Amino acid sequence: MISRKEIKLIRSLNQKKYRDEEGLFVVEGEKSVEEALQSGFEVIKVFRISEIGEEAMSRITLLSSPSPALALVRKPELPDASQINDLIALRPLSLGLDSIRDPGNLGTIIRLADWFGIGTIFASQDTVDCFNPKVVQASMGSLFRTQIIYCDLLQIASEFRAAGMPLFGTFLDGKSIYEEDLSSNGLIVMGSESKGISKALESLVTHRITIPSFSPSTEKRADSLNVALATAIICSEFRRR
C-alpha cells in the first residue's frame, strides 16, 4: 500500500525546491532502481507496480508513463573544498559542464562519463540538477557511479591550471581534435547548448579544440553538434590515444 502522504511527497520531488528541502530524489525503472539498491546511496523505500497496482503507480510516476518500479533515494552529501582539492591533486581527467540546461543531455553525458571511465563531472551552478527525474532516467543508473559536483566552475578551472594540468575547451574555431595533443589528465569543458563556453572560462582554456566537419558542402551542413553527441566523440578520442 501507499499512503496519501507518500504520494504527495513523491509528486513534490518533481521540483528541485522540494528535492533540496527533503534531501530526496526519485528513481524509476527496474534497471535504475536495481542500480540504486546496489550503490552506496541510501534507498529509503521501493514501490513496485506488482505490489501497489498500476493505478497507484500512475499517481506517483514523474515520467510520461508508470514504470514497474520506483524508489525514493537520499541525495548524497556534496564534498567540501578540501575534498575537491584532494580530488584535483590526483590529476584526473574530468569533465566541466558550463550551463548545460537540457536534462536529457546531462543524463546522457553522465552515462558517457561512466562509459569512458571519467569519474568526476564539475558542473556550473546553473547546470540542470542531476537529480531531476529526466536526468536520472537518461543516465540509466550511471548517476550512481559518477560524481557530479556543482561548483564555481571558474574556480575549479583555475585549480586545474594551478596544478599544472591542461584545460581543453570546445569551440567551432578550435584545432581539430584529431590533430591536437591530448592528455590523460586535465579538464574538458563543454559549453552550453546555445551560448557555448562563457568568456570568463574561455580565458583559462589552454587548448581550443573542435570536432571538424567532413561535409563536402559548407553551405548545406549542420552548423553544430548536440552537446551530448559532441561529448561522446571527444571522450572517445581522448581515451583512444
Domain ranges of the chain: 4-74, 81-240
What gap in Å lies between CA 177 and CA 184, rounded to an integer? Answer: 14
CA distances from 213 to 129, 147, 175, 181, 220 (A): 32, 32, 12, 19, 11
Q: How confident is the model at residue 22 (pLDDT cuts 50, 70, 90)?
A: very high
Which residue matches cell numbers 583555475? 158
How much is the average pLDDT of 178-196? 93
What superfamily in CATH does domain 4-74 come from?
Ribosomal protein L30/S12 (3.30.1330.30)
Burial 22-53 (b: 16+ CB within 10 A, else e): eebbbbbbeebbebbeebebeeeebbebeebe
Give the pLDDT mean for 78-103: 91
Mean pLDDT of 71-99: 92
- What is the mean pLDDT of the segment spanning 18-42? 97
In degrees to the nearest 10, what's the CA dihedral of 118, 120, 124, 126?
90
> What pLDDT was estimated at residue 194?
84
Quick check: do 4-74 and 81-240 share a fold?
no
Q: How high is the pLDDT of residue 222? A: 65
Whether the per-residue pLDDT at 131 is higher than 90: the answer is: yes
- What pLDDT, on the 0 to 100 scale, is given for residue 1? 80
Residue pLDDT, tens place only, 197-220: 999 999 999 999 999 988 776 665
Which CATH entry fits the domain spanning 81-240: 3.40.50.2300, 3.40.309.10, 3.40.1280.10, 3.40.30.10?
Answer: 3.40.1280.10
Side-by-side strand order, sheet with 43-48: 24-28, 69-74, 43-48
Nearest to 180 by CA among 214, 210, 215: 210
Percent of the chain at pLDDT > 90 equals 85
Q: Average pLDDT for residues 167-190, to the nearest whole number?
A: 95
β-pairing, 24-28 with 69-74? antiparallel
Output the pLDDT for position 217: 65
pLDDT per residue as tens digits for the range 43-76: 999 999 999 999 999 999 998 888 999 999 999 9
Q: Is 141 helix (H, G, I), strand (E, B) or coil?
A: coil
**Residue 94 scores a pLDDT above 70:** yes
Percentage of the chain beyond pLDDT 70 is: 97
